[in-house]
Amino acid sequence: MSKICPITGKRPQTGNNVSHANNKTRRRWEPNLQWKRVWDAESGKFIRMRISTRGLRTIQKLGLQAALRKSKVPRKG
């Protein structure tokens, strides 16, 4: 399973750990993804999604269908 939020499009970022001696080692920053059951009013069912906490706030504000329509992440179907 990819570590990409279907609502916000957040994905892992890369960069460096930098020590006091200015030594650099590569690292990744992972998005804060959580498994959530989200109610879909159109289908009348819960949908289990792995979404970022920012995406969860967006769903709570707009609703699931509006948030999916507004998202820029391409989806199948």
* CATH number of the structural domain spanning residue 56: 2.30.170.40
Query: What confidence score (pLDDT) does residue 73 get?
Result: 72
Count of other CB atoms within 10 angstroms of residue 28 = 9
Q: What is the pTM of this model?
A: 0.81
Look at residue 11 and tell me if it is in a domain. Answer: no
Task: Enter the DSSP assignment of 55.
Answer: H
Q: Give me the number of domains the chain comprises.
A: 1
**Cα 63 from Cα 71, distance rounded (Å):** 12
**Cα 60 from Cα 58, distance rounded (Å):** 5
Q: What is the pLDDT of residues 5-54, one digit of tens each?
A: 999 999 999 999 999 999 999 999 999 999 999 999 999 999 999 999 99
Q: What is the pLDDT of residues 12-22, one digit of tens each?
A: 999 999 999 99
CA distance to 27, 31, 33, per residue, from 36 (Å)? 27, 15, 9
Look at residue 56 and tell me if it is in a domain. Answer: yes
Look at residue 23 and tell me if it is in a domain. Answer: no
**Domain containing 43: what range?**
33-70
